[in-house]
Amino acid sequence: MHDIPGLLVPTLFHAVQRDGFSFVTADTMRPLLQSVGELSDWDAFADSWNRLGPDPYLAAKGRFRRRCHATFTATAHGAVEPAPHQPHYQALQYNALQGDIQRWFEPVDSSVAKGASLRTILTFCNDFFGSLSPSVPHWHVEVHQFRIEASIDVAGEPTPEGSHRDGVDFVLVLLIDRHNIASGTTTIHSPDGQLLGDFTLAHPLDAALIHDPRVFHGVTPVMPLDATEPAHRDVLVVTFRAKS
């Protein structure tokens, strides 16, 4: 593993191993990321959320969000490499709203995919998740850029499928930006529905680390604070699934 700040990692490891999740504030997440790479293009990286295309599959269900998607492969504590553009697929048991279909989304812009910030985030995930599952030699990695927009008439739904699992091994949810919104509280539940924790990603680089097989997660709808201003919640979601 890279030299991630020594006192931080055991605490996060313990939390994820014990509880199945950990909420990580930006003042902790930033040094963790910067210990394995650079965030030198962060402003351009965050700005790319302004150019996401609409999610056509969700629009067909009468809901709206913006989304781009990319796929990578990773080796244990090694390189994370881009994979050919491909559909995103979840079984119906994990996504009752849009399961059992291959969904093609606009690809993450190549400048974002190759940029310092995303490469650093992926390196951190490969190190951290790989250390939690050291027997896994190869990972299937997916990256999702999400923008949830809200208006006074229509609440934004970060997780329209409700509390759910993603059908992977590990999930990183990283806040990029939130503007003029209220709520958006992340909730973590046990499989029997018991609330295990809740927190709000409020500042850029606030994050949730989730062991997906153990817990369900969801996010409450968001509403604008000022009805006359645009309102959005931007997140990056990275998933790691062991390749068979």
Does any domain span residue 228?
no
CA 24/CA 26 separation, integer angstroms: 7
- Asked if residues 5 and 36 have their Cβ atoms less than 8 Å apart, the reply is no
Q: What is the pLDDT of residue 90?
A: 57
Q: Report the domain count for the chain.
A: 1
Q: What is the pLDDT of residue 1?
A: 47
pLDDT tens for residues 212-232?
A: 999 999 999 999 999 999 999
What is the DSSP annotation of 91-110? -TTT-TTTTTEEE--PBPPH
Does any domain span residue 74?
yes
Does any domain span residue 110?
yes
Does any domain span residue 40?
yes
Does any domain span residue 229?
no
Residue that has been written with the tokens 């951190």 in this structure: 124
Per-residue pLDDT of the chain in tens (244 residues, 90 and over written 9): 455 565 577 789 999 999 999 999 999 999 999 999 999 999 999 999 999 998 886 654 546 789 999 999 999 978 999 999 988 665 556 555 554 477 778 999 999 999 999 999 999 999 999 999 999 999 999 999 999 999 988 888 887 778 889 999 999 999 999 999 999 999 999 999 999 999 999 999 999 999 999 999 999 999 999 999 999 999 999 999 999 7
CA 222/CA 161 separation, integer angstroms: 15
Q: pTM value?
A: 0.92
The secondary element (H helix, E strand) that includes residue 139 is strand 138-149
Distance of CA 78 to the CA centre of its chain: 21
Does any domain span residue 3?
no
Strand partners, 70: 143
Question: Residues in the chain, how many?
Answer: 244
* Token pair listed for 203: 């500042």
Q: What is the pLDDT of residue 77?
A: 77
First to last CA, the chain: 23
Question: Distances from the Cα of 17 to the Cαs of 21, 127, 170, 175, 218, in angstroms?
Answer: 8, 15, 12, 23, 20
CATH number reported for the structural domain that contains residue 151 in this entry: 2.60.120.620
Does any domain span residue 230?
no
Does any domain span residue 2?
no
CA 162/CA 158 separation, integer angstroms: 9
Q: What is the pLDDT of residue 4?
A: 54
Q: What is the pLDDT of residue 224?
A: 95
The boundaries of the domain holding residue 43 are 8-222+235-242
